[in-house]
Structure 1
Amino acid sequence: MKQPTPPARLLRKALQRAGMHPDDPDATTFDLTGKRALVVATNVGVLDIGKPTGVFASEMTVAYYAFLDAGMAVDVASPLGGVIPVDPQSIKSVIRCADDDRFLADDELKAKVTDSLAIGDLDISDYDVVFLAGGWGAAFDFGFSEPLADKMTDANAKGLVIGGVCHGPLGLLNAKDVDGKPLVAGRKISAVTDKQVKELGIQSTPHHPERELRGVGAEFESETRRRDPLANHWVVDGNLVTGQNQNAGPMVAREMMQLLVAQSENVSTS
């Protein structure tokens, strides 16, 4: 791991007490050897005002390492393939989490992020779970990518466990259920709130998750605090597990793996 300095560690602990990157109180150890996971992140690295953005690091790393440590093989993809930009704000020593420390010293994951797979080139049936990472970059491509929507439609039809946090659920925006209706219509979904978008002052992005997901019929859920970046919420609806922001990462990954275990048990007893 790339360890932060002692002062940064103290400030990180203070932020955690305030609600940033909380530990999962129901953390569970899984053995999912032989299973495969796909983590999908954005290709967009610049906001329209020229400010750097990308995937918010922990919204990718937390799920990636949760799956990896459970024995799963984990691939990394993006709408276009190639470089996944990492929001530089998210890897500052005070903001990042322990999984981000691990990422910064992990040549294998850095190589996957530098040369990600193109989602349209993949056979989604090769995977058991698909996780949609967030970050402001995803507001520019996840809800507009036809290949991503098509693969999420296929993933749902095949019964894969699908999860995401923050802006990641925008990858479900144009996916369809088996009847051809919007996949999220009537489904409980959580993602970034309109309040959080307003609080952080980044309202120029083309898609705001709460607004867009409500617009296609999702039953949007969230928690609110005086500052929504420190709030936390996640929800399970069938094979969909979604979280409000980076704080839900550990819980969403754990719930996804619990669903996968349940699926495997149902298959073995049928």
Structure 2
Amino acid sequence: MPKRILNVVTNVGHYDDPSHKTGLWLSELTHAWHVFEDAGFEQVLVSPKGGAVPLEPRALKFPNYDKTAKAWRADPARMALLENTLSPEDVDSADFDAIYFTGGHAVMYDFPDSEGLQRITREIFERGGIVSSVCHGYCGLLNTRLSDGSYLIAGRRMTGFAWREEVLARVDKLVPYNAEERCKERGALYEKAKLPFVSYVVVDGNLVTGQNPGSAKETAEKVAALL
């Protein structure tokens, strides 16, 4: 049986201010997808509500827009996958060996409080499967509790998009909260690279987290190696 990965994507298309668009940071999906595909894994897309996934406009501009993202957008079959994602209620966690949370600022809105995603994450983690995220994807881990009531990330080494990176990206006034700070409030042992926007990945047991868009490939490679 090939290993199976559940890729989590967003349904949100804008910040609190509807004139500021956001969505899935496409390369965070495509870089990982290629790694998992090359490893022979089966992949499924899920989103908090199911259905269509908006794309982050900033991710489709140079230098963020790379060949994997371009190839995905040029492939009607791949784009169709982003129109028809599963909802958490459609997912049996026992079917998956790992869950991978993609990012983009949109996920700050719909990932943290999805009880369905929390259930799937908890079940995969507690039976020794891999829980992973890249960039803002760690917002999907902020409120996930284990069966004993403790936060999944409490006491665990991890990373995710840093507040300094929010400031440098000039979205610190747009985002709904400081994800790095919330992560620390949950008891996580948050780490980040010395320089912003360079690839940085932390592995703590079966928890694998990458800091920013440039970390997606390395994050997926660490997940693949563990599997």
* Structure 2 length-normalised TM: 0.94
State the partner residue of 2:4: 36
| Secondary structure at 1:241 match in 2 | strand
Letter in 2 for 1:86: L
| Secondary structure at 1:80 match in 2 | coil
Q: Is the 8 A contact 1:37 1:128 kept in 2?
A: yes
Counting only pairs closer than 5 Å after superposition, residues 50-65 of structure 1 correspond to structure 2 as 50-65=19-34
State the partner residue of 1:120: 89
Deviation at 1:159, TM superposition (A): 1.5
The whole-number CA distance in structure 2 between the counterparts of 1:250 and 1:215 is 28
**Which is greater in Rg?**
1
Q: Is the 8 A contact 1:192 1:208 kept in 2?
A: no
Q: Is the 8 A contact 1:83 1:115 kept in 2?
A: yes
1:215 aligns with 2:182: no
The whole-number CA distance in structure 2 between the counterparts of 1:208 and 1:255 is 26
2:117 to 142, 148, 166: 148
1:167 to 128, 132, 136: 136
1:89 aligns with 2:27: no
Q: Is the 8 A contact 1:134 1:168 kept in 2?
A: yes
| Secondary structure at 1:117 match in 2 | coil
Q: Is the 8 A contact 1:45 1:52 kept in 2?
A: yes
Letter in 2 for 1:258: A
| Number of residue pairs aligned between Structure 1 and Structure 2 | 225
1:249 aligns with 2:216: yes
Over the matched positions of the two proteins, sequence identity in percent amounts to: 33
Letter in 2 for 1:248: S
| Secondary structure at 2:131 match in 1 | strand
Superposition RMSD in Å: 1.4
State the partner residue of 2:203: 236
Unaligned ranges ≥5, structure 1: 1-32, 261-270
Letter in 1 for 2:118: A
The whole-number CA distance in structure 1 between the counterparts of 2:110 and 2:177 is 9
State the partner residue of 2:48: 79
The whole-number CA distance in structure 1 between the counterparts of 2:58 and 2:14 is 13
Deviation at 1:73, TM superposition (A): 1.3
Q: Is the 8 A contact 2:6 2:96 kept in 1?
A: yes
The whole-number CA distance in structure 1 between the counterparts of 2:49 and 2:194 is 34
